């Protein structure tokens, strides 16, 4: 089945130690998103790629970076995780064109713990 | 800027009952999309239903239907014959075409009791 896959599902990192979360998709969608979701809150968009075009949200800290080496993969790099970065990180995709172009498909998320 | 408000942080009903989740939004746009997403405990977020603002007819997906009131900027979700598997966090969301960005409400935690 076509889907959005996130690895790992659970990640523990130390304060200040760089960490990378990965997302892959078999939907061949043009757009990939990264969201941060803290407990009992709505997802907060960090940035998205439309193909290779990177779009950063104005309030996303510089500590968060992203890479999209090809259509299928997108990575979230946290350069120096702080305790406040502990959260669920959601990856999502959308077609970006054609029917239902804006409909987003979410992955299961990676829960990040910072010790 | 667009905003989405869900005024019910938590709701609880008995299995088989009908429940309505409220959502209001604020925008100056005339063309936009509205969504309800479901996020079950420890499971991924999935789309429940979508509504295009230019469509007057309310969207329906099996037991899920919406009451879209464009003038009032209201978009409520009705779940009929509720099931235990409907227990989840429900998010109302807004998007303008081509904006590639969902604006979420704060969410409503719905519990279906046996």
Decide: helix, strand or coil at residue A84. Answer: helix
Q: Does B102 touch chain A (CB under 8 A)?
A: yes
For B8-46, the pLDDT digits (tens) are 999 999 999 999 999 999 999 999 999 999 999 878 899
Q: Could you tell me the two tokens for B93? A: 């969301």
Average pLDDT over residues B104-110: 96
CA distance A99 to chain B (A): 12
If DSSP states are collapsed to H, E and C, what string results for B81-95?
CCCHHHCEEEEEEEE
**A40 band by pLDDT with thresholds 50, 70 and 90:** confident
B31 interfaces chain A, CB cutoff of 8 Å: no
Contact B104 A43 (CB under 8 A): yes
Contacts with A, B 63-92, CB within 8 Å:
89, 91
In this complex, how many residue pairs, one in chain A and one in chain B, have their CB atoms less than 8 Å apart?
49
Q: Where are the beta strands (DSSP E) in chain B?
A: 3-5, 10-14, 19-21, 24-26, 33-39, 46-52, 60-61, 64-69, 74-79, 88-95, 103-104, 108-113
Peptide bond into B73 cis (omega under 30): no
**Tokens at residue A92, please?**
């999502």
DSSP code at position A65: E
Q: What is the pLDDT of residues A95-113, one digit of tens each?
A: 887 667 778 999 999 999 9
């Amino acid at each position: 089945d076509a889907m959005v896959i996130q690895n790992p599902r659970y990640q523990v990192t130390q304060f200040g130690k760089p960490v990378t979360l990965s997302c892959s998709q078999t939907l061949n969608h043009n757009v990939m998103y990264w969201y941060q979701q803290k407990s009992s809150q709505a997802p907060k968009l960090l940035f998205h790629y439309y193909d290779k075009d990177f779009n950063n949200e104005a309030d996303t800290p510089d500590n968060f970076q992203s890479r999209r080496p090809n259509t299928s993969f997108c990575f979230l790099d946290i350069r120096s995780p702080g305790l406040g970065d502990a959260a669920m990180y959601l990856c999502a995709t959308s077609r970006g064109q054609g029917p239902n172009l804006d409909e987003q498909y979410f992955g299961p998320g990676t829960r990040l713990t910072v010790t | 800027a667009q905003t989405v408000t869900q005024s019910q942080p938590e709701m609880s009903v008995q299995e088989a009952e009908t429940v309505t989740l409220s959502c209001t939004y604020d925008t100056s746009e005339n063309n936009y999309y509205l969504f309800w997403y479901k996020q079950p405990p420890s499971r991924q977020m999935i789309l429940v239903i979508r509504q295009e603002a230019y469509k007057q007819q309310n969207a329906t997906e099996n037991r899920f239907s919406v009451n879209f009131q464009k003038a009032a900027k209201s978009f409520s979700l009705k779940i009929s014959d509720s099931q235990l598997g409907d227990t989840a966090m429900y998010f109302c969301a807004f998007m303008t075409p081509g904006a590639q960005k969902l604006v979420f409400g704060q969410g409503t935690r719905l519990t279906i009791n046996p």
